[in-house]
């Protein structure tokens, strides 16, 4: 289903019928979904997970979750009220539709399905979660330039990169957040970096040695701001041409709710998310520190017009440049 596209998506699997675990897991693997399940299945614990820093593309929910008739429908009401941006997919025992549910409850779900026929779920997942295609070469290029920029600023760290994935939620991770506009003839939107202040501050201070003790959150802000500028500069050099005169100036409000750690760009399109983990070579006992990078192209997205700018090396190879 995801052939030719390495981007995956995380889904919360709220299905406690263990007899079907193997078939659901196989389905997720086949469809490019990373399924995660809560260890504790109480409604309060599940809602706590959804209010945390878990990046999700959607939720697979069993109608009788918790071994209670209609337990999944009751849980869906709580989830939909708290996280309406997350698509819900309802597994039923009898029929692959929302027959028998009242109109308000039925409207919560992108689709209903049974394990006997998963084709409808496949199609709906494709339309709901994987509706936006991010070219593999672009994702690979973003990963390479971001990792190189992070390595420049965190020279004392090894940097791991997880498989890129799509998210539908709007939760902000951590306390430190940078945002920069991205504009070209083929895309317009924003790039974000998000991190936990204390964890990243520890990395910066230890990397600075004795001078690090005097650092404050302002220096940390500068480091993350410089990271953002470095990546945007690399992005421009590689992917942004000079055809910017006719760019549309359409804008939409960006809404941020600090109390709920929520941000909205006025678009339901899935966001591209990449997770980088810093591991300090000189402090092997220090916990790894994650930095999250997100892209939302909410104002223009025309990847068919993407053209990678020629590198200096390619210009030498073609004969357009020569050494002086």
- Flag whether 1 is in a domain: no
- Total domain count, the chain: 2
Is the pLDDT confidence value at 245 over 50?
no
**Rounded to whole angstroms, how far apart are CA atoms 21 and 23?**
6
**Rounded to whole angstroms, how far apart are CA atoms 9 and 270?**
10
Closest by CA to 203, choosing from 256, 90, 281, 280, is: 280
In this prediction the pTM is 0.82
Among the residue ranges 22-31, 224-233, 249-258, 311-320, the one predicted with the least confidence is 311-320
Read off the CATH number of the domain in which 96 is found. Answer: 3.40.50.2300
Mean pLDDT of 102-109: 96
Contact predicate 293/193, CB 8 Å: yes
Mean pLDDT of 67-83: 91
Q: Are residues 288 and 208 in the same domain?
A: yes
pLDDT for 141-182, tens place per residue? 999 999 999 999 999 999 999 999 999 888 899 999 999 999
Closest by CA to 11, choosing from 119, 166, 134, is: 166
pLDDT for 193-211, tens place per residue? 999 999 999 999 998 887 7
Q: Are residues 164 and 34 in the same domain?
A: no
| pLDDT more than 90, % of the chain | 59
Q: Are residues 119 and 151 in the same domain?
A: no
First to last CA, the chain: 51
Last-in-domain residue among 107, 128, 149: 128
Last-in-domain residue among 94, 128, 162: 128
| Token pair recorded at residue 282 | 């000189």
> What is the pLDDT, as a whole number, of residue 4?
40
Mean pLDDT of 24-34: 92
pLDDT for 32-42, tens place per residue? 999 999 888 88
- Among left, alpha and beta (phi > 0; psi -120 to 50; other), residue 313 is alpha
- Flag whether 319 is in a domain: no
Q: Are residues 157 and 260 in the same domain?
A: yes
- Flag whether 18 is in a domain: yes
Q: Are residues 149 and 74 in the same domain?
A: no
- The residues near 23 (Cβ < 8 Å, ≥ 6 apart) are 115
- Flag whether 174 is in a domain: yes
Mean pLDDT of 110-126: 92
> What is the pLDDT, as a whole number, of residue 1?
41
| pLDDT more than 70, % of the chain | 91
In terms of residue numbers, what domain contains 56? 8-128
**Rounded to whole angstroms, how far apart are CA atoms 290 and 307?**
31
Q: Are residues 54 and 188 in the same domain?
A: no
- Flag whether 113 is in a domain: yes
pLDDT confidence bin for 312, thresholds 50/70/90: very low
What are the phi and psi torsion angles at 99 (to 5°)?
-60, 135
Q: Are residues 179 and 303 in the same domain?
A: yes
Last-in-domain residue among 98, 128, 158: 128
């Amino acid at each position: 289903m995801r052939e030719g596209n390495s981007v995956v998506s995380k889904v919360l699997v709220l299905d406690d019928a263990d007899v079907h675990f193997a078939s659901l897991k196989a389905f997720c693997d086949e469809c490019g979904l990373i399924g995660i399940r809560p260890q504790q299945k109480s409604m309060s614990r599940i809602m706590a997970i959804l209010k945390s820093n878990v990046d999700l593309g959607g939720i697979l929910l069993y109608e009788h979750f918790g071994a209670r008739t209609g337990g999944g429908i009751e849980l869906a009401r709580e989830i939909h009220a708290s996280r309406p941006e997350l698509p819900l997919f309802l597994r039923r025992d009898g029929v692959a539709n929302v027959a028998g549910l009242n109109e308000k409850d039925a409207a919560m779900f992108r689709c209903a399905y049974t394990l006997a026929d998963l084709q409808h779920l496949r199609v709906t997942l494709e339309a709901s979660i994987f509706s936006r295609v991010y070219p593999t070469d672009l994702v690979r290029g973003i990963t390479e330039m971001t990792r190189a920029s992070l390595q420049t600023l965190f020279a004392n760290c090894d940097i791991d990169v997880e498989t890129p994935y799509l998210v539908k939620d709007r939760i902000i991770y951590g306390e430190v957040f940078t945002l920069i506009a991205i504009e070209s003839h083929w895309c317009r939107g924003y790039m974000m970096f998000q991190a936990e202040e204390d964890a990243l501050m520890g990395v910066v201070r230890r990397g600075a040695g004795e001078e690090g003790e005097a650092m404050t959150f302002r220096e940390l802000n500068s480091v993350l701001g410089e990271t953002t500028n470095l990546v945007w500069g690399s992005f421009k050099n590689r992917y942004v041409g000079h055809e910017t005169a006719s760019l549309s100036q359409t804008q939409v409000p960006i809404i941020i709710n600090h109390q709920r750690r929520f941000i909205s760009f006025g678009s339901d399109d899935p966001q591209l998310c990449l997770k980088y983990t810093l591991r300090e070579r000189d402090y092997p006992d220090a916990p790894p520190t994650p930095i999250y990078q997100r892209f939302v192209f909410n104002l223009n997205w025309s990847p068919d017009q993407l053209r990678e700018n020629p590198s200096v090396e390619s210009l030498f190879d073609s004969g357009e440049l020569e050494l002086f």
